[in-house]
Amino acid sequence: MCKIGKFFLKLFGVLFAVNALLFVVFFFDLDGKLLFNVVEPFLKKHYDDMERKDVIKQPYDMNKFPKY
C-alpha cells in the first residue's frame, strides 16, 4: 500500500477511535456523570469555603450621591 493510502488508513483509524470514544462518552452521559459526581462537588466545596466579604459592614452613606 502506498504511503498516502497508509496515512489515510491511519487517519481513518484515529478518527474512528476518537469518534467511538466520543460516542461512548456521549451515549453513556459520562460528561454529565463526571460533572455531577466530581466537578460540581469539588467546586461547591471551594465556593462554600471561600472567604467572602461581610456585606453588612458595607457603609450606607445617606448623602453620598446626588439626586438623579
Partner 1 sequence: MRDLKHLIYFENLLQEANNDLVKQAKAEGKRAIGYTCYFMPEVLLDLPGCFSTRLRAPRCTSPDIATYYLSGRVCHYARSLLERALEGGYNFLDAQMGTETCTATCRFQEHLQQKHLDSVEDMRIIDNDDFFCEFTDIPFKNNENSYQHFETQLRAHVLEPLHEHFGIDISDEALIKTVEQHNEVCRLINEIGDYRKLDNPTITGYEFHVIQLVSLTCPKELILPYLRETAEEMKTREPDDKKNFRCKVVLAGSENDDPDFTKLIESCGALVVCDRFCYGAVESRIPIVLEEGKSPLRCIAEHYLKTSNCPRFMPQDEMRARKKRLAELAKEYHADGVIIASNKFCEYWSYERVIDTFILQRDFGLPVCSIEKEYINSASGQLRTRFQAFVESVEIKHIQEGK
Partner 2 sequence: MAKKDIKKALKDFWFGKPHSGEEGGRRLGELYEDKTGLLKHREWRGVKDTFYYMYMIWGYNYVHMVTDILKYSNNPIDFFKGTWRYRWMGQTYLPVIHWFERGLQGMRGEALAASAWHYRAMVSASIQQICNFFNADTRLHGGKQNDAYRHTIYANETTCGTMFYPFMDAGYRYLPIEMIPYFVTCHVNSHTVLNYIDAVQSLGLPGDPCPMCQAEAGIFVLDDVPDSSPMVITCNEACDASVSTSTLQDWFADKPLFALPIPMQFDDPLVKKYCMKEIEDCWKFIEEQTGSPFSWESMVKRLEKQNKLQRDEWEKWEVASKTDYYPINGVAQALFRIFSTQYGIQGDFWDEASEKVKKIMYKCVEKKIKPFPKTRHRVIAWSCAPLYFSNWCTWAYNCWGLNCIINMDSLMFDMEIRTDSYEHMLEDMATYHMWAPMRRMAVGGMHHIFELWEYMERFNCDMVAMYDQLQCKGMQGVHGLFEDEFRKRDIKAFWIPHALPDCRTVSRAEIRRQINDYMTTVMHEEPLDPSLLDFDDSMTW
* Residues binding partner 2 (CB under 8 A): 22-23, 26-29, 31-33, 35-36, 39-40, 43-44, 46-47, 52-53, 55-56, 58-61, 64-65, 68
Closer of 3 and 60 to partner 2 (Cβ): 60
Closer of 3 and 57 to partner 2 (Cβ): 57
Those residues whose C-beta lies under 8 Å from the C-beta of residue 1, and which sit 6 or more positions away, are: 9
Minimum separation from the CB atom of position 4 to partner 2 (A): 27
* Binding to partner 1, residues 38-57 (CB under 8 A): 56
> How far is the C-alpha of 65 from the C-alpha of 20, rounded, in Å?
62
* Residue 43 grid cell: 467546586
* Torsion, Cα of 29, 34, 37, 39 (10° steps): -140
